[in-house]
């Protein structure tokens, strides 16, 4: 019996050590490969969007560069639709993901999040200027078509607060904006900084005066579950960024670049 118990204890210890090694192997794998693979959805200016050469740029991409440099490795960007980014981080196709993530409890069930690196104020609705007098409150949009990105916090907001609205899920934010401009939908749900960017770029768009009654926890980096060493390094890099107010500078630069690229609209 003692031998059986001793054997069981050894197996338990080995299993525990194996789990610990697996949980901490991502950072070692990144450094061994010499590259950090970052997932993003480049349709969410000024966080991430296609630059003049078609490659993803924006404030999140600057943060990705900073984290890669902090780790001393090369940066590799993999682009997906937003819901594809969520799948990529949970299946381990990417090392980390930056896509304007709000660390909701639902998402935290399948992924971990870094410390907050940027705070958003509101989740808002954008409408066509021709309907500005018609859609002034959330209640005005019940029974109407409201677009939101698939898998996004904004889609959840529509489901929670506009239960009688017809939710139109779209893969990419610009697709929803085009639908709104052509009046295929009556409104689009967006984070405040994103809404402001589109309203600045398109004269036919305005922000609905009433925002969703929701306060964001902020924006964070998404990581695979149970990677404490990698999480600690990402948080250390973010701490430097926050202390130097770098992300706000990157946001200003990204807003300026995106506005310049869309000045003909």
- Span 113-135, pLDDT tens digits: 999 999 876 899 999 999 999 99
Counting beta carbons within 10 angstroms of the beta carbon of residue 153, is it exposed (0 to 12), middle (13 to 18) or buried (19 or more)? buried
Q: What is the pTM of this model?
A: 0.78
> How much is the mean pLDDT over the chain?
90
Question: What's the CA gap between 90 and 54, in Å, rounded?
Answer: 26
Where does the pLDDT of residue 214 fall: very low under 50, low under 70, confident under 90, or very high at 90 and above? confident
Where does 2-119+217-261 sit in CATH, by number? Answer: 3.40.190.10
Phi, psi of 76 (to 5 degrees): -125, 125
> What pLDDT was estimated at residue 211?
94
Alpha helix positions (H), the chain? 2-23, 25-33, 59-71, 82-91, 105-108, 153-161, 173-181, 192-201, 228-243, 246-261
44 in Cβ contact with 4 (< 8 Å): no
Give me the half-sphere count of Cα atoms (radius 13 Å) on the Cβ side of residue 222: 30
Q: Is the pLDDT of residue 221 over 70?
A: yes
- CA dist list (Å): 125 to 85, 197, 258: 24, 13, 20
Where does the pLDDT of residue 215 fall: very low under 50, low under 70, confident under 90, or very high at 90 and above? confident
165 in Cβ contact with 127 (< 8 Å): no
Question: Please, what CATH class does the domain formed by 123-207 belong to?
Answer: alpha beta
- CA dist list (Å): 113 to 107, 128, 134: 9, 35, 39
Residue recorded with tokens 């489901």: 159
Q: Identical fold at 2-119+217-261 and 123-207?
A: yes
209 in Cβ contact with 134 (< 8 Å): no
Where does the pLDDT of residue 265 fall: very low under 50, low under 70, confident under 90, or very high at 90 and above? low
Helix (H, G, I), strand (E, B) or coil at 139: helix
Question: What's the CA gap between 188 and 207, in Å, rounded?
Answer: 10
Q: Is the pLDDT of residue 264 over 70?
A: no
Domain residue spans in the chain?
2-119+217-261, 123-207
Nearest to residue 128, comparing CAs of 169, 193, 176?
176
Phi, psi of 202 (to 5 degrees): -125, 115
Could you tell me the maximum CA-CA distance found in the chain, to the nearest angstrom?
A: 81
């Amino acid at each position: 019996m003692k031998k059986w118990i001793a054997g069981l204890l050894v197996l338990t210890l080995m299993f525990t050590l194996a789990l610990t090694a697996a949980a901490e192997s991502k950072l070692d794998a990144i450094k061994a490969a010499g590259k950090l693979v970052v997932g993003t959805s480049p349709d969410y200016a000024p966080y991430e969007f296609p630059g003049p050469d078609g490659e993803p740029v924006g404030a999140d991409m600057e943060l990705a560069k900073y984290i890669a440099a902090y780790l001393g490795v090369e940066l590799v960007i993999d682009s997906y639709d937003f819901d594809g980014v969520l799948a990529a981080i949970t299946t381990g196709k990417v090392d980390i993901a930056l896509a304007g993530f709000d660390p909701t409890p639902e998402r935290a069930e399948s992924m971990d999040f870094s410390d907050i690196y940027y705070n958003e104020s509101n989740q808002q609705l954008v409408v066509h200027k021709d309907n500005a007098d018609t859609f002034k409150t959330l209640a005005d949009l019940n029974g109407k078509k409201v677009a939101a990105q698939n898998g996004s916090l904004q889609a959840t907001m529509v489901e929670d607060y506009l239960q009688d609205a017809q939710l139109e899920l779209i893969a990419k934010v610009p697709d929803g904006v085009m639908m709104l401009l052509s009046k295929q939908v009556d409104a689009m749900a967006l984070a405040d900084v994103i809404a402001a960017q589109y309203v600045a770029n398109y004269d036919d768009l305005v922000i609905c005066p009433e925002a969703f009654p929701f306060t964001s926890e902020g924006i964070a980096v998404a990581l695979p579950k149970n990677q404490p060493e990698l999480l600690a390094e990402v948080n250390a890099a973010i701490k430097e960024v926050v202390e130097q107010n770098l992300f706000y500078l990157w946001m200003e630069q990204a807003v300026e670049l995106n506005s310049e690229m869309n000045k003909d609209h």
